[in-house]
Structure 1
Amino acid sequence: MKKVSGSALWVVVLVMALMLVTEVRLSNAVTCNVAQLSSCLPAISSSTAPSSACCSKLREQKPCLCGYLKNPNLKQYVNSPGAKKVANACGVTLPSC
C-alpha cells in the first residue's frame, strides 16, 4: 500500500472543507419572491404595526429589495410610504440602488 504524505492529506482536507462551506452558502441562498412579503400587506395598507412574520420575511428578502425596486411593476409598492414605514418598524434599511 502506498503511503500518503502529510501535505497531500492537508490539501484533501482543505478541498473538502471548501466544498462544505460552499454547499452551506448555496443552501442558505434567498429565493426572491415578492409574494413572500404578503404578510406585510396589512401593515403597509393601514396604520397597524407589522407582524413578526412580516419583519422576519422582510429581513429574509432584504437581498432581493434592489431587484424589486428596479422592477417597474413593483417599484411603486416597495418605494411607497407604507412600505417604508414597515421597513423602518422592522429595522430594515431600504437600499439605494
Structure 2
Amino acid sequence: MKSFIMVACAILVIMILAGSKGATAVTCSPTELSPCIAAFTSSAPPSAACCGKLKQQKPCLCGYIRNPTLKQYVTSPNARKVSRSCGVPVPKC
C-alpha cells in the first residue's frame, strides 16, 4: 500500500510539471517577428528563425491584424506566403 501511494504521488508530480510547460505566456510584440523582415519584404524564403518566431507569435496575429499600423504588413501577399511556408495559417479575426 505504501509503494502504491508513492507511485501515485510521483505520477501526480510528473503530471503537474508536464502541465506547467504549456502555461508559458507569449509576449505579443511585433519586433519578435524581426527575423521575418527579409521574407516579408522580398521573395526570400523564410528562415527557420522566422518560422519559429511566427509560430510563437501565432496567438498575437489577430491583434496585429486589428492594428491599422500593422495590418498591411501582416496581411500582405508576401506575409501570407511566409505564413503558408511556415505552416502558420493567417487567422480569420
TM-score tier after normalising by the smaller chain length: 0.7 to 0.9
> Hey, which of these two has a bigger chunk of helix by percent?
2
C-alpha RMSD over aligned residues: 2.0
- Counterpart of 1:73 (choices 51, 59, 69) is 69
Q: Identity, % of aligned pairs? A: 55
Listed one character per residue, the Cα deviations across residues 6-29 of structure 1 (whole Å, up to 9, x for unaligned) are: xxxxxxxx9x9xx87886554x11
- TM-score of the superposition, structure 1-length normalised? 0.74
Q: Size of the alignment, in residue pairs?
A: 83
Q: Report if the CA contact (8 A) 2:45-2:82 is conserved.
A: yes
| Counterpart for residue 94 of structure 1 | 90
Match of residue 30 from structure 2: 34
Residue 44 of structure 1 deviates from its aligned partner by: 1.1
Tell me how far apart the structure 2 counterparts of residues 71 and 40 of structure 1 sit (CA, whole Å): 19
**Larger Rg over CA atoms:** 1
**Which segments of structure 1 move beyond 2 Å, counting only runs of 4 or more?**
19-26
Unpaired segments ≥5 residues, structure 2? 1-11
1:61 aligns with 2:60: no
Aligned match of 2:7: none
**Could you give the per-residue CA deviations for residues 41-70 of structure 1, whole angstroms, max 9, x where no partner exists?**
101111111000000000000000000000
TM-score normalised per structure 2: 0.77
Q: Aligned to 1:31, what secondary structure does the other structure show? A: coil
